[in-house]
């Protein structure tokens, strides 16, 4: 009964997808899904991309699915573990409801919190007594990094057996990258003395391309040491094959010109399987090397969420738990690595 119902709901989602949210199974396991919610424009979460985990019980739909946010969010009805206080996931659940309706209800909850039934009383109190402060904090917690990656939107059914850990950007991801480029351009007086570098993963190369286009910069340097975490913590479970090294980048499919990228032929690529500590040290040394190589340049480094957190902790020699989302921009002083500002695409 449960499997048949879940399959039907998945088919309905694929046939009539929503613009604000999407969901689909993790691999072949229909009882475990990932979901994505785009922050509603009329809320302080506008511009954010939030991920959720969905677990269906074996007696679904007679029992509700379990949903929790895996992206950090500032909300009175969602706690630090991602648990959601929503009546239809508890006493008001009905077998007539679907996971699509639940996701839409969560979208509504982002626009209209319920501070009278909070999971986080302190946030509920702020919402009631100081709405401007609440909106500001909610916006500060909404982060973007490189653009949205194809494998994060399961309804797109992205698969590439040759490069399973190197997903490209989605259409939304390309738009996020363009917007990030527009903002970065607005911060800089000119394009002189700017160096754009990126991780060799295709999503970072694509994001860097959009930023370089806005700045009218032709060359982008690939720095392998800025790569994502090459272990299970980065959802990588075997050695990585590099599209860049294999010359498997299609200008029409990937929407970039491979000829604009350069990489030192002696560059050392990180190898699977590394620890979180060794990955953090690798990224730290990459940032230090960049500032040494280009002491007089403004450096724009397009990398991954863990790299952003490492960069923010360079001054204090500790990790800064930003939980960066897609296309987050973090400004650092290259002289002492102090954080100037962080910004989210809204």
- Among the residue ranges 81-90, 219-228, 240-249, the one predicted with the least confidence is 240-249
pLDDT of 74 over the 60 cut: yes
How many whole angstroms separate alpha carbon 174 and alpha carbon 88?
35
State the average pLDDT over residues 251-272: 88
pLDDT of residue 103: 96
Q: Same domain for 307 and 165?
A: yes
Mean pLDDT, residues 192-207: 91
DSSP letter for 308, please. H
Number of helical H runs and strand E runs in the chain: 10, 10
Range of the domain at 85: 2-140
Residue 204 to residue 224: CA distance in whole angstroms:
11
Helix (H, G, I), strand (E, B) or coil at 112: coil
What integer best gives the mean pLDDT of the chain? 84
Measured CA distances, 294 to 225, 281, 305, 335 (Å)? 16, 20, 23, 12
CATH (domain of 267):
3.40.50.1240
- Residues 254 and 332 reside in one and the same domain: yes
**Tell me, what's the pLDDT at 145?**
46
Lowest mean pLDDT among 48-57, 85-94, 136-145: 136-145
CATH of the domain at 74: 3.10.110.10
Above 90 in pLDDT, residue 20?
no
Q: Residue 136 — very low, low, confident or very high, per pLDDT cuts 50/70/90?
A: confident
Distance between CA 313 and CA 280 in Å, rounded? 10
What is the C-alpha separation between 296 and 299, in angstroms, rounded?
9
C-beta separation of 247 from 219 below 8 A? no
Average pLDDT over residues 43-49: 78
Of 85, 204, 303, 327, which residue is the catalytic one? Answer: 85
55 pLDDT more than 60: yes
Q: Is there a single domain that holds both residue 226 and residue 162?
A: yes
Range from 22-31, 217-226, 307-316 carrying the lowest mean pLDDT? 307-316
Catalytic residue flag (residue 85): yes
User: What backbone phi and psi angles, to 5 degrees, belong to 210?
Assistant: -65, -40
146 within a domain of the structure (yes/no): no
The predicted pLDDT at position 99 comes to: 96
> Per-residue pLDDT averaged across 238-256, rounded?
87
Strand order across the 49-55 sheet: 21-26, 29-38, 49-55, 66-69
Q: Are residues 38 and 129 in the same domain?
A: yes
Residues in the chain: 346
Quick check: is 147 in a domain? Answer: no
More confidently predicted of 20 and 61: 61
* pLDDT for residue 258 is more than 70: yes
Instruction: Mark whether 99 and 247 lie in a shared domain.
Output: no
**DSSP annotation string for 212-227:** HHHHT---EEE-GGGP
> Degrees (nearest 5) of the Cα angle 200, 203, 205?
50
338 in a structural domain? yes
CB atoms under 10 Å from CB of 264, counted, come to 10
**pLDDT range class, residue 154, cuts 50, 70, 90:** very low
Percentage above 90 pLDDT, the chain: 40
Most confident of 181-190, 196-205, 259-268: 196-205
For residue 213, being part of any structural domain is answered with yes
Are residues 134 and 196 both part of a single domain? no
Residue 149 in domain = no
One domain for residues 132 and 202: no
Q: Which residues contact 266 (CB under 8 A, 6 or more apart)?
A: none
**223 closest CA partner among 279, 144, 164, 303:** 303
Q: Is the pLDDT of residue 142 over 80?
A: no
Domain total for the chain? 2
Q: Is residue 150 assigned to a domain?
A: no
- Determine how β-strand 298-302 pairs with β-strand 261-262: unpaired
What per-residue confidence (pLDDT) applies to 143?
Answer: 37
Distance (Å, rounded) from C-alpha 23 to C-alpha 318? 35
Is residue 177 located within the same domain as residue 255? yes
Q: What dihedral angle (degrees, nearest 10) is formed by the CA atoms of 128, 129, 131, 134?
A: -90
324 pLDDT higher than 50: yes
Rounded to two decimals, the pTM is 0.56
pLDDT score, position 282: 93
Mean pLDDT over residues 314-334, rounded?
A: 60
Say if residue 162 is in the same domain as residue 85.
Answer: no
Say whether pLDDT at 344 is over 60: no
């Amino acid at each position: 009964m449960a499997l048949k119902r879940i399959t039907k709901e998945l088919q309905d989602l694929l046939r009539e997808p929503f613009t604000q949210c999407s969901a689909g199974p993790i691999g072949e396991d229909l009882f475990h899904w990932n979901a994505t919610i785009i922050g509603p424009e009329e809320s302080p979460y506008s511009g954010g991309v939030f991920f959720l985990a969905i677990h269906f019980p074996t007696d679904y739909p007679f029992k509700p699915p379990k949903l929790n946010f895996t992206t950090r969010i500032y909300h009175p009805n969602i706690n630090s573990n991602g648990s959601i206080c929503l009546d239809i996931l508890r006493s008001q659940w009905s077998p007539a409801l679907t996971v699509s309706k639940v996701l839409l209800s969560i979208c509504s909850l982002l626009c209209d919190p319920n501070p009278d039934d909070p999971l986080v009383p302190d946030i509920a109190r702020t919402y009631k007594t100081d709405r401007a402060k609440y909106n500001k904090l909610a916006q500060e917690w909404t982060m973007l990094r490189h653009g949205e990656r194809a494998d994060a939107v399961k309804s797109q059914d992205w698969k590439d057996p040759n490069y399973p850990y190197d997903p490209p950007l989605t259409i939304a991801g390309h738009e996020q990258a363009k917007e990030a480029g527009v903002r970065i351009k607005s911060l800089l007086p000119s394009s002189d003395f700017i160096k754009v570098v990126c991780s060799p993963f295709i999503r970072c190369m694509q994001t860097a391309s959009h930023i370089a286009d806005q700045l009218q910069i032709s060359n982008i340097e690939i720095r392998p040491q800025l790569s994502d975490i090459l272990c299970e913590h980065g959802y990588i479970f075997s050695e990585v094959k590099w599209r860049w090294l294999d010359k498997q980048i299609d200008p029409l499919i990937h929407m970039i010109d491979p000829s604009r990228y350069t990489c030192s032929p002696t560059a050392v690529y990180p190898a699977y399987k590394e620890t979180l500590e060794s990955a953090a040290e690798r990224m730290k040394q990459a940032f230090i090397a960049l500032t040494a190589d280009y002491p007089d340049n403004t450096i724009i480094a397009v990398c991954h969420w863990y790299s952003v957190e490492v960069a923010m902790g360079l001054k204090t020699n500790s990790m800064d738990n930003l939980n960066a989302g897609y296309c987050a921009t973090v400004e650092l002083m290259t002289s002492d690595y102090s954080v100037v500002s962080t910004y989210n695409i809204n």
